A = this chain, B = another copy of it.
Amino acid sequence: MTTALIGLDWGSTHLRAYRYDSRGQVEEKRAFPHGIRRLPEGGFAEAFAQAVQHWPDVPVLACGMVGSRNGWQEVPYLDTPTRVDRLAGALTHLEVPGGRVIHLVPGLRDPQRPDVMRGEETQVVGALAFSPSIGQRGCLLLPGTHSKWVSLRDGAVAGFATVMTGELFGLLMQHSILGAQLPADANDEQAFLRGVVAAKASDSAGALSRVFSARTLMLDGVLAPAAVADYLSGLLIGDELRMALAAGWLDARTRVQMVGEGALCERYLKAAAVFAIDIDTAPDNTTAHGLWRIATEAALVSPTAAA
């Protein structure tokens, strides 16, 4: 089957390239460390040339930080509320050395908070393709370094919020009095759940009012030094769920679907059980699927082939 599209998921720390057949199946995947903050000598052009080397000259669609102010070319955000099918009509074209054209997906901006995303909008498209009904009234959770809580109403992205849970965990473990010089994560489920419960019990004060307990519980001998990482992970993930409820990003009537990587999603599922929040999980290849859907709507690939 012939190659119909190349998709690029190009973030701060990674570059993933997908080669699709004419039915939208990914025939080949490539991964590089060449995020926009880790470019090789030769910069964007060299990273791109490596990513698509020996692949046919078909349309290229890219999402992520490559379209940010520090990216290859800045792409204006689409403001929420917006239907995601508007993304296909708002692509920016970038002609690159050698003559290829890259079509860049815009990020989304929630002007109410304000908040921004680049790359996750394509995951949202992919997730909605897998389960369209959640778009009527639901919430997508994309956990990670910068977790995103995306509120969906009547088929549109109503708004969203970023929580820096993963980055904060890394900062506390690497650089703070709580975690620096401690042994690595012991994968201690009891310590993790203790952290989740502490976050829940912090109620409206929030888990920052208790984060120092990671140290005092260790001094008390309640937490082994190797379990501090899991306790902090539980405290911060628990706090993210606590604040999502407090901020109204989800409520008892809201379906929540999570999109992301396996081990991290497992942690969120365990924490959600403590809060009695039901979370469905979506397949993890939502970016690749979202890129294909946007390309189809933008007529970068032929509608008949995409059927």
- A residues lining the B interface (CB < 8 Å): 69, 109, 113-116, 146, 161-164, 167-168, 171-172, 174-178, 202-213, 215-217, 219-220, 239, 243, 246-247
Q: How far is the CA of A205 from the CA of B241 in the complex (A)?
A: 10
- Identify 18 residue pairs between A and B in the complex whose beta-carbon atoms are under 8 Å apart, listed by A's number: A109-B216, A114-B217, A115-B213, A116-B215, A116-B219, A146-B177, A164-B176, A167-B176, A168-B176, A171-B172, A171-B176, A174-B175, A204-B204, A205-B243, A206-B208, A208-B239, A208-B243, A209-B243
**Contact residues in B for A171 (Cβ distance below 8 Å):** 171-172, 175-176
Name A219's contact: one of B69, B210, B213 (CB within 8 Å): B69
Q: How far is the CA of A202 from the CA of B161 in the complex (A)?
A: 12
**Nearest-CB residue, chain B, relative to A177:** B167
Min distance, Cβ A100 to any Cβ of chain B, angstroms: 29
**Contact residues in B for A211 (Cβ distance below 8 Å):** 164
**Nearest-CB residue, chain B, relative to A202:** B247
**Nearest-CB residue, chain B, relative to A167:** B176
Q: How far is the CA of A177 from the CA of B113 in the complex (A)?
A: 18
Given known A-B contacts A176-B171, A204-B246, A219-B69, A113 and B210 have beta carbons under 8 A apart: yes
**Nearest-CB residue, chain B, relative to A68:** B219
- Whether A212 pairs with B69 at a CB distance below 8 angstroms is no
User: Which of A69, A116, A209 gathers most chain B CB within 10 Å?
Assistant: A209
**Nearest-CB residue, chain B, relative to A206:** B206
Min distance, Cβ A230 to any Cβ of chain B, angstroms: 18
**Nearest-CB residue, chain B, relative to A77:** B219
Q: How far is the CA of A203 from the CA of B247 in the complex (A)?
A: 8
Q: How far is the CA of A243 from the CA of B210 in the complex (A)?
A: 10
Q: In the complex, given contacts A113-B210, A113-B216, what are 15 additional A-B residue pairs having Cβ atoms less than 8 angstroms apart? A: A114-B213, A114-B220, A116-B215, A116-B216, A163-B212, A164-B178, A164-B211, A171-B176, A202-B247, A203-B246, A204-B206, A206-B243, A207-B208, A208-B208, A208-B239
